[in-house]
Structure 1
Amino acid sequence: MNEGRWSDLTPRILSAVVLVAIGAIEVWLGGLWFESFIAAACAIMIWELVRMLDPDRPSVAIQLGLLTGVAVVAAYHLPAVYRLPVLIAPALVGLGQVSKNRRLIAAGSLWIAAAGLGFISIRETMGFGWMLWLISVVVATDVAGYFFGKALGGPKFWPRVSPKKTWSGTAGGWFAAALVGLGFALYGGFGLPLVIVSVFASMASQAGDIMESAVKRYAGVKDSSNLIPGHGGFLDRFDGMMGASVFVLIAGLFYAPGGM
């Protein structure tokens, strides 16, 4: 075995176990517990985003993070007509407070807030089963992409933006997502179309990962932070989840019949 190639495997596994355990508990509990967890995650991701793009404003990063966390939870409990203005508010505040990369920070803040609202809506509106499906697709995509990419290597997917990603890892993620979709389709009785939906969700997850990689490359940093050993920061860990969450919202799965 090439130890250098797999040198980061142990911290990645340990961190993943802790994250999965905490996330599983929060998803299972739902309600205010899950909403608080998502609010905290969004706050941390905003903090990381501002630190990357405007490192001279650490206090602003904290303030915008807290404001976004509150906005995400508030938006879910408000009537639909008020949700978008509430989500936009932190981004507008950011425009006036930061001194560098204002538009990028505002766009990133809105993206994170929208994804956070998506997580809460999926769990509370669609139910535990759909949230479990979403997490399973993203985790399978990430894990399969890592192992397929490390083991098979080959041509890079988009070297200018994400130099480590390969076509083998990307396709491996699609394959793993299809298997997850097949399992949930059979268990939940939703039929084989869920397999295709799972692959698209996998692609959206990878798109979210690529977007975050582009931001890091623009900012000249390797990781969004060092909060999670082996994984970098929360943006590094949840970028794919955000992409998949937005995809589910766009795909209109809220009105899916029945439930898992």
Structure 2
Amino acid sequence: MSEKPEKWSDLATRMGSGLIMVLVGVWGIWMGGDVFHVLVSLVCGLMVWELARMLVPLNRPLALQLGAVSGAALLLAIYLPTGFALPLLLAPAMVGFGQLERNRATYMTFTVLILMAGFGMMNVRDDLGFGWMVWLVLVVVVTDVVGYFAGRMIGGPKFWPRVSPKKTWSGTVAGWIGAGIVGAIFAINTEASLQLIGVSVALSMASQMGDISESALKRKMGVKDSSDLIPGHGGVLDRFDGMLGASVFLLMLGQVVGFPGGVL
């Protein structure tokens, strides 16, 4: 019986911080345009800063510089034609690769993912509008929230115990189901076909891949959280790792099948 209170010990703090993030996020998505661009660039810059801090903990000035350069590059890129934006999005990864003394490939890979994810989110809001950006966020949030509660209530076999001891298969599958329900609701209430359910489940899986990749990185670097910026959640990278995977996947999906197109 003593384990039950421990399972839920961080719930109040987690929910409080989560509510603030939701309110800020909804405001940013609703405003769109410059406000959303700045907000996404700030978040992505913070994620690169946290990444560099984990990889080179003794060189915090370098981490701050790389975070600032990454956020500024992303903000500038969204106002340029795509052909000019792409090299700008990759430049911070190359700059960091030349500055870091170790973990260079890890920094380069994650930084490219972070900036491409941010660029993808901006394009979803700019090109597809408020509704589809809400869909993307809801898929990721529902995957995380449903997985969190299902994993603690149902329990069962662990997903990858060596890397992420708290993640269970029950929570993972529950996240897919929750995302599928989000897709079904949007399919019924928009011009999208029911294939959106499958796309939503795939996005859920991509978000979980982003989550588990960041967990593996933290395990490798021997840290519990990417930072302590967000009470109950750790760092910005801890909170938005799922959005990285989902946004990059959606960006690729748009190139492959022209999403939303008809919508599917």
Deviates more, 1:185-194 or 1:237-246: 185-194
Which of residues 159, 172, 190 is equivalent to 1:170?
Answer: 172
Q: How far apart are 1:5 and its partner, in Å?
A: 1.1
Number of equivalences: 259
Match of 1:153 in 2: 155
Alpha-carbon contact 1:57-1:98 (below 8 Å) kept: no
Match of 2:77 in 1: 75
1:1-260 to 2 correspondences below 5 Å: 2-252=4-254, 255-257=259-261
Deviates more, 1:80-89 or 1:173-182: 80-89
Q: How far apart are 1:80 and its partner, in Å?
A: 1.8
- SS of equivalent residue, structure 1 residue 77: coil
Alpha-carbon separation, structure 2, partners of 1:132 and 1:150: 27
Alpha-carbon contact 1:126-1:254 (below 8 Å) kept: no
Cα distance change on mapping 1:24 and 1:112 into 2, 3 Å:
same
Alpha-carbon separation, structure 2, partners of 1:123 and 1:254: 16
Q: Which residue type is aligned with residue 22 of structure 1?
A: V
Alpha-carbon separation, structure 2, partners of 1:161 and 1:63: 30
Alpha-carbon separation, structure 1, partners of 2:26 and 2:125: 12
Alpha-carbon separation, structure 1, partners of 2:109 and 2:54: 14
Alpha-carbon separation, structure 1, partners of 2:116 and 2:193: 29
Q: How far apart are 1:29 and its partner, in Å?
A: 0.2
Q: How far apart are 1:83 and its partner, in Å?
A: 2.3
Q: Deviations over 1:33-87 (max 9, x none)?
A: 0000001001100110011111111111111111111111222222222222111
Identity percentage of aligned residues: 53
TM-score (norm 2): 0.95
Alpha-carbon contact 2:253-2:259 (below 8 Å) kept: no
Q: Which residue type is aligned with residue 26 of structure 2?
A: A
What are structure 1's unaligned runs of at least 5 residues? none
Displacement over 3 Å in runs of 4+: none
Q: Deviations over 1:81-121 (max 9, x none)?
A: 22221111111110122222112112111111111111111
- SS of equivalent residue, structure 2 residue 166: strand
Q: How far apart are 1:204 and its partner, in Å?
A: 0.3
